[in-house]
Amino acid sequence: MPVGKWIVSHRLTLTFLLLGAIIFLFVVVPLVKMLLSSVSEPDILWETILDPEVTGAIGLTLLAALIATVFGFILGVPLAYLLARTNFPGKKLVEGLIDVPIVVPHTAAGIALLFVFGRRFFLGEAFSTLGIEFVDSTAGIVVAMMFVSIPFLIDSAKEGFRKVDVRLEKVARTLGASPWQAFFRISFPLAWRSILAGNIMMWARGISEFGAVIILAYHPMIAPVLVYERFETYGLDYARPIAVILIFVSVVVFVLLRTLAYRGDKQ
């Protein structure tokens, strides 16, 4: 086939390939540029890696996001199941409100959380009597991360449960299974891939959170807050190595988790 005719017959593919390449480069180029700029200064990068404040902030970031994801799993999966399986007045409103944290500016979300978990407000005072503080504490970081990332888990789990044929649950019930047994032996195992994907997205979103955290719990510093603090205080050269390390750690863990999920899906 002549080149001209081949191009004409593949115009759609070529156009989409060009547009896709543009957005791909838009995402990749800044990350690669920053990584290469830090690799060119290995001494500064190594010094940053050995900085206890940096390693502590990154460790706290990963841990807080993991704790937020665990609580999101325990509390969010049951809600996702109810939204997938039951109809009730106001269901659409509930589904809409669950997704609000995605669109609300996260500094505004932090202020909203402060009005609930602050020391002078109801839940803040109630937990304070138990020795749990949310303002400038790890608990506050977890709450902020959970608030902004929980929609990803609930939405993914809800779609997973919707794909499970409800007749399978009914058959299990007719064979003597209790509702709990039907859930744990039928619904959850068949929807677990979507739930796992939601957990991964929630964890990843929690790691990247900045706005809500900086309002509710500036200290102890997580990595995004430390990057901001170093940039504001010392400038770009001091903030860049931390950002590079955070991006590298996040990408490695994220790719590892997605790979495990993909292998489980193939099995």
Residue 263 binned pLDDT confidence (cut-offs 50, 70, 90): low
Residue 246 binned pLDDT confidence (cut-offs 50, 70, 90): confident
What single letter denotes the amino acid at residue 237?
D
Q: Which tokens in the block code for residue 130? A: 């138990």
Amino acid 53: pLDDT: 87
Q: Say whether pLDDT at 188 is over 80.
A: yes
Q: Where are the domains of the chain?
A: 62-222
* 28 close to 251: Cβ distance less than 8 angstroms: no
**Mean pLDDT across 126-137:** 86
Angstrom distance (rounded) from CA 154 to CA 81? 9
**Mean pLDDT across 1-29:** 80
What single letter denotes the amino acid at residue 22?
I
The reported pTM is 0.85
* 221 close to 139: Cβ distance less than 8 angstroms: no
Amino acid 4: pLDDT: 64
- Cis before 52? omega within 30: no
Say which CATH superfamily domain 62-222 falls into. Answer: MetI-like (1.10.3720.10)
Angstrom distance (rounded) from CA 76 to CA 245? 31
Q: Which tokens in the block code for residue 55? A: 């390693």
Angstrom distance (rounded) from CA 58 to CA 149? 18
The predicted-structure confidence for 135-158, as pLDDT tens digits, reads as follows: 889 999 999 999 999 999 999 999
The predicted-structure confidence for 15-24, as pLDDT tens digits, reads as follows: 889 999 999 9
Mean pLDDT for the chain overall: 85
